[in-house]
Every structure is written in C-alpha cells, then in structure tokens.
Amino acid sequence: MSRTPNYEFQEWWNKQREKNTTNTNNLDSLDSLDDNLKNLDHAHSPSSPPFTALDISSSSAADTSADHDHDRSGRKERSRSARQLSWVFLLKFQQLAANLGWLSNGLLFLLRTGQRRIATDSASFGDGGDTSRLYRAIRFFLITVLLLLVFELLAYFKGWHFSPPDPSDVLGVIGVVYSTWLDVRASYLSPPLQSLANLCTVLFIVQSVDRVVLILGCFWIKFRRLKPVASVDYDGPVQSVEDFPMVLVQIPMCNEREVYQQSIGAVCILDWPKERMLVQVLDDSDEVDTQQLIKAEVHKWQQRGARIIYRHRLIRTGYKAGNLKSAMNCDYVKDYEFVAIFDADFQPTPDFLKKTVPYFKGKDDLALVQARWAFVNKDENLLTRLQNINLSFHFEVEQQVNGIFMNFFGFNGTAGVWRIKALEDSGGWLERTTVEDMDIAVRAHLCGWKFVFLNDVKCLCELPETYEAYKKQQHRWHSGPMQLFRLCFLDILRSKVSWAKKVNLIFLFFLLRKLILPFYSFTLFCIILPLTMFLPEAELPAWVVCYIPGIMSLLSVLPAPRSFPFIVPYLLFENTMSVTKFNAMISGLLRFGSSYEWVVTKKLGRSSETDLVAFEKEAEPLMRSNSLHRSSSDSGIEELSKLELSKKTGKTKKNRLFRKELYLAFILLAASVRSLLSAQGIHFYFLLFQGISFLVVGLDLIGEQVS
C-alpha cells in the first residue's frame, strides 16, 4: 500500500521547475508537465509496486529523487542554453555576412565604375591632364609615398619598426639603408616639416578665430534684430507712376539653353510699372540654335507688351564684364537710375524690385543692394547639399555681418541692384579679371560708396549638379580674387578710405579668406599630415586633425540646420576641394594661363519645366494691370515642347575622372596604412576617410550620375 503523498514537497518541486523552465519553449513546458503528471499518477496508483512508490517520509529517498530530477533539469537547461547560444551566434553571423555582402557590393560597384570610366575617359581627363604643374607635383609625391610605404612595411616585418637596427651591428644592405634613412629623416627632413606644420597650424587657428568672430557677429545681429531699414514702401497706397524710379534690368547669358526661359519669364512679370522698366537680354551665345531660341522667347514677351530687347555681340571679348560694359554704353541707359542684374538661371520674385529699390531712397551714398540666393535643387544630390551648407554660411554670416558692420562685401554678380552713378564713378565694368563682380565692388568701396545686404529677400537660382561644373566654377571664384589682389593692392594703399577699411580689405577680405584658407587647408591636410606618418619625428596633434575642424564644421552648418547629418561629409568634402582651390589660388597669384579661363557654369534647368506654367499664370494679372497683350499663338504647352527639343539637341553628358583627386586618394590611403603600423587611431581614421572621400570625388561619384 502506497503512502500518502507529501503535498508540501510537491508545491516546492513545482516552484523549482517553474523557475528552471522560464526561458523554454511551449513544447518543453508540455513535456515537463506530462512527466509531472505521470509521477503523480504513479504516486496515487494503488496497484503500483512498493519499490516504485514515492516515499516522502524517508529523507534519503527524497534527497536521491530530488538530486536525480535536479540533474535531469540541469542537463535540459544546459541543452537549452547551448541551443540559444547557437541561435545568437547564427544571428550574429548572418548580420556579419550581410555587412560583408554590402561592403563587397559597394566595392565591386566602385571598381566597375572606375574601370568603366577609365575605359571611356582614357583620352581626356577632367582636370587638364599632364599640363598641370600641380598634377605633376602630386604624381611625384605619390611615387615617393608608395616607395616609402614599401620600405616601411619591409622594416616592420623585419622588426626594425619597434627596435631600430644598430649601425654597429653587421647588417645587410637594406638594414644599412634603413638606419641611414632614420638618421636623415630625424636630422634633416623632420625639422623643416615640423616648422611648416607649425606655420600652417597658426594660420589655421587665425582663420578659425575669424570664423568664430563672424558667427558671434551673426548671433549679435539676430539678438539685437539689426537689419537695414527702407525709407519708402512701394507696396503701400497707390502712387503715381512718376514716383517709381527708372530701372534697367539686365540678363547676361551665354549658351544657356536649359535656363534662359525661366529668367526671362521671371523678369518680365516683375511688379513694376512697364514704362519705368526696360529688360535687356544680353546674349553672348555662339550656338546659332540657342540664339534663335532666345530671340523667339524675347519676341514672345514683346508681343505681350513687355519692354524687352535682345542684344547680341559679334565680338565676344571680356566675357561677362565685356557683355555688361557693352550694354551700359547704349544711349538710352542715361535715362535710367538703377540697374538690376540677374544671371540666366535666376528667378526673381515679382516683388523683387519693390523690396530692394526702396533702400536707395534718401541714401545718396548707397551703391548696391544685394539679395540672398535660394536654391531650387539643394536636395538633388550630395553635391548640392554640401554646396548649400557653404553658401548658406556665406550669405547668412559673411555677407550679412560685413554688410551690417562694414557696409562692404563682395558683390555676388547677380540678384543685386546697382546705382548707375556709382558704377560710372567707380570706372564701370572692367575686363581685367574673371571676377568682374568683386572688381567693381572693391573699386566702389575705395570710392566711398556703401553696400546693403538683404538677408530676407531671396532670389531663386540653381546649383551646379555635376562635380565637373562645380570644380570649374570654384576655380574661377578662387583664381580671380588673386588676380584682383595683384592689380588693386597699390590702389588700396593709395585710396582715401580709413586705415581700418584698408586693413579689412587686405588682411581679411583678400589674404585671410582668399589666400590663406586654401593654402593651409591643402598643405596641412593633404601634404603635411601624410608626410608626418612617414616622418614621425614631426607630428600634428589630434586637436588640429580632428577637434578644431569638427568644431568649425559644426559652426558652418548652423545657418543650414537641416544639414546637420552631413557634417562629416561636409568636412571631408571641403578638404577634398582644397586641391582645386589651392591650384586656382596659385594660378591667379602667379598669373598662370588657366587663371584667365572663363567657363560658363552649366545648369540643368531643373525648375524650368515646373515654373514655366507658373510664369504663365502669374503673368495674367500683371499683364492686365500693365495693359500687356498676350499673343494667341503662344501657349505653355508649346514652350514646354520647345524646351524639351532644346534639351535633346544639347551635348551628351558623361561622368569624368579627375587625376589629381585620384592620386591624392592613393597618397592618403597609403599614409593611413603607415599610421596603422604606428597605432595612431585618430590619424588613421582621418586619413582613411579622407582618402575615401578623394577617391569618390576622383571617380566623379558625388554629383549627378549619367548612365
């Protein structure tokens, strides 16, 4: 006869089993419950043999049974833990495989793209090929760096990297050469490199202080709500037509078939009395079909009643400056008081003149009112996003601070209104540089004229979407100022302006922001930093390589807060562009032939197709109010089809290779391998990512991709 079961023990046993099976699956729980029920059945069964009964009163039997069940539970737990660990490792392996697959696909895409572009672009490169002096210097630098890397790797595997060979020992030829190399680099190469690094570091700190001061000035303007104030409001009660000054509007263009319609359409619907405004379309195109398209567009608006004329020069000398100078020599210009200038891709809002011209009223010493640029394609690709960061800082901080505190800044060449008397007093447009806008601004400032910048008046325009177009634009923007500095340095010293303005022009406007900035950024991060990996006796501290550049990038992104995720790409891209800016600065300073090249920045007309119909709709009420008549034969659909035809007849685009950027990528990647041997963490990561940035740009993967 079986004994009565001990329910106290049964309750404890169930609690232990629940504790041990919390992480098991449902099947294991059901199996354990089934075993428990079978044990209970055996305990209560009257027909069970005496030796199968559970004798709870006997402590030894209870302990034996508990130990047996505990061992069984432990084995199950260990099997479950092993199974769970296997699943964890399997999941980690799957994630690792996915990451490796992503990296391999990216690398394969990069290699295929590079191979394809090398095959299709072997005859002509996007940066001038072998004719560039800087290119030849970089190529020599690359060969030197690769030889040094092979030498250092050989020394590393021989153990000399950690314990240099003793010249007194018996060594082979390689050991003697390496020992001599250590002496030469420590005694003769590292000291001048360290001196150059210290000089560039000082320049870097000075330029960083200048940027911080500009940021503080911008914060002060925001805090005190400082802004120019107009003395008259043309949007107020209806005024007589004679109260509106005569305004001449100029649109210089050259072979810009993609964007000519949007600028002409936007200017023709400006909210200004038609008898007080004349539009000049200054076409320097040498493509006959483009000339015909622009003529047809001008004729269309003439039929609608707009006062617009078409001008074409037969002799295209002086580029944009020559075009503007020729237009200002017309006899009827003397009847106008102000001139507004818009490039071919700019689209002023209808109230642009009403927001800018009033600031001239009562300020006879005011020469220029400059509006801010806004971009229709700033989110098109990574290149346009990074340009938006740069230009947002330029307008929000540099132009606004200089306009408020100095009444002077560089004219941006477009989206501005000039007093014609100030242009004539300053000598008019000159063809001596490729930055005619900065030239006329400096000369007007030396004559005592003042400028006003309007940060809240924006004019839409388009950013270059290909790296080739952007590179050519930046070359012109950075070579021209050095040309101008050579030409006007003595004029600045002889001028009658205060010494404070002379110092601002020479040391801040020209030297610090136009010469020192591209010099140290290229020399420090593309030359000195890789060399310090092979000449470790000279070094750059981590705060120069990482911390200060990171802080400066953060400050640069403040005017464009939506671009904060692009801080790191912005920092790397700015260093990548330093080679182009440095080359342009040197060519302009030393009067190389490339500094006098003017290449029109190609635009794609992203906004033309969507804005053309909008111009048609906006033009209706203005035409009725200004007694303009619309030609019945013209329609938005016809203009769209004409635009599409003009785009199809354009030149075929393709992505290019850029040798200087590619060679610098290999230099930086080789230096990163050398830094890895020395276990320099921050320097390794900076060189690695900067090298990848140069590689991406060199393969033309950053802008628009053409299939």
- pTM for the model stands at 0.79
**pLDDT tens digits for 457-467?**
999 999 999 99
**Quick count: other Cβ atoms within 10 Å of Cβ 698?**
26
User: Is 28 labeled as catalytic in the residue annotation?
Assistant: no
Distance, CA of 160 to chain centre = 43
Q: Is the per-residue pLDDT at 157 higher than 50? A: yes
CA distance 488 to 482: 10
**596 within 8 A of 540, measured Cβ to Cβ:** no
**Quick count: other Cβ atoms within 10 Å of Cβ 676?**
15
What pLDDT is recorded for position 47? 43
CA distance 189 to 184: 7
Question: Could you tell me the two tokens for 325?
Answer: 């100078």
**215 within 8 A of 393, measured Cβ to Cβ:** no
What pLDDT is recorded for position 45? 46
For the chain, what percent of residues have pLDDT higher than 90? Answer: 60
* Chain position carrying tokens 């002889």: 494
pLDDT higher at 94 or 312: 312
What pLDDT is recorded for position 195? 96
pLDDT higher at 410 or 314: 410
What pLDDT is recorded for position 233? 86
Helix (H, G, I), strand (E, B), or coil: what is residue 419?
A: strand
What pLDDT is recorded for position 44? 45
Closest of 5, 11, 8, 13 to residue 32, by C-alpha:
13
What DSSP string runs through 608-656?
Answer: HHHHHHHHHHHHHHHHHHTT----TT--HHHHHHHHHHHHHTSPPP---
Q: What is the mean pLDDT of residues 333-337?
A: 96
Q: What is the 3-state secondary structure (H, E, C) of 277-320?
A: EEEEEEECCCCHHHHHHHHHHHHHHHHCCCCEEEEECCCCCCHH
Q: Is the per-residue pLDDT at 231 higher than 90? A: no
What pLDDT is recorded for position 689? 95
Strand order in the sheet with 308-312: 308-312, 277-283, 247-253, 338-341, 416-419, 366-375, 450-461
H/E stretch holding 93: helix 59-120
Helix (H, G, I), strand (E, B), or coil: what is residue 553?
A: helix
Q: Is the per-residue pLDDT at 324 higher than 80? A: yes
- Across the chain, mean pLDDT equals 82
Q: Say if strands 247-253 and 338-341 run parallel, antiparallel, or are unpaired.
A: parallel
Q: What is the mean pLDDT of residues 543-572?
A: 94
**331 within 8 A of 248, measured Cβ to Cβ:** no
What pLDDT is recorded for position 154? 86
What letters, b where the CB count within 10 A reaches 16 and e where it falls short, cover 161-194? eeeebeeeeeeeeebeebbebbeebeeebbeebb
Helix (H, G, I), strand (E, B), or coil: what is residue 185?
A: helix
- What's at 569, amino acid-wise? P
Q: What is the 3-state secondary structure (H, E, C) of 459-483?
A: EEECCCCCHHHHHHHHHHHHHHHHH
Q: Which of 271, 283, 345, 437 is catalytic?
A: 437
What pLDDT is recorded for position 614? 52
**pLDDT tens digits for 605-644?**
765 444 544 555 555 555 544 444 433 334 444 444 454 4
What pLDDT is recorded for position 473? 93
Contact partners, residue 59, CB within 8 Å, separation at least 6:
none
Question: CA angle at residue 700 from 698 to 702, to 5 degrees?
Answer: 110
Beta pairing partners, 249: 279, 340
**Quick count: other Cβ atoms within 10 Å of Cβ 614?**
16
CA distance 5 to 14: 14
Q: Which domains does the chain have, with CATH numbers?
A: 136-156+189-225+465-604+654-706 (no CATH), 234-462 (3.90.550.10)
Question: Could you tell me the two tokens for 223?
Answer: 């805090």
User: Is 63 labeled as catalytic in the residue annotation?
Assistant: no
What pLDDT is recorded for position 103? 76
**pLDDT tens digits for 364-423?**
999 999 999 999 999 999 999 999 999 999 999 999 999 999 999 999 999 999 999 999
- What's at 387, amino acid-wise? Q
Question: Could you tell me the two tokens for 465?
Answer: 């979407």
Among the residue ranges 25-39, 103-117, 422-436, the one predicted with the least confidence is 25-39
Q: Is the per-residue pLDDT at 244 higher than 50? A: yes
Instruction: Compute, in degrees rounded to 10, the torsion defined by CA atoms 494, 499, 502, 506.
Output: 110
Closest of 54, 19, 56 to residue 39, by C-alpha:
54
Q: How far apart are the first and last CA of the chain?
A: 91
Closest of 427, 551, 537 to residue 488, by C-alpha:
427
What pLDDT is recorded for position 332? 94
- What's at 486, amino acid-wise? R
**533 within 8 A of 678, measured Cβ to Cβ:** yes
What pLDDT is recorded for position 8? 56
CA distance 427 to 175: 69
**pLDDT tens digits for 655-683?**
788 999 999 999 999 999 999 887 677 89
Burial of 416 (0-12, 13-18, 19+ CB in 10 A): buried
For the chain, what percent of residues have pLDDT higher than 70? Answer: 75
What pLDDT is recorded for position 404? 96
Question: Could you tell me the two tokens for 96?
Answer: 């690792």
Question: CA angle at residue 106 from 472 to 689, to 5 degrees?
Answer: 60
Q: Which of 284, 343, 345, 439 is catalytic?
A: 284
Long-range contacts of 543-549 (CB under 8 A, 24+ apart): 544/201, 544/204, 545/682, 545/683, 545/686, 546/682, 546/686, 548/204, 548/205, 548/208
Helix (H, G, I), strand (E, B), or coil: what is residue 375?
A: strand
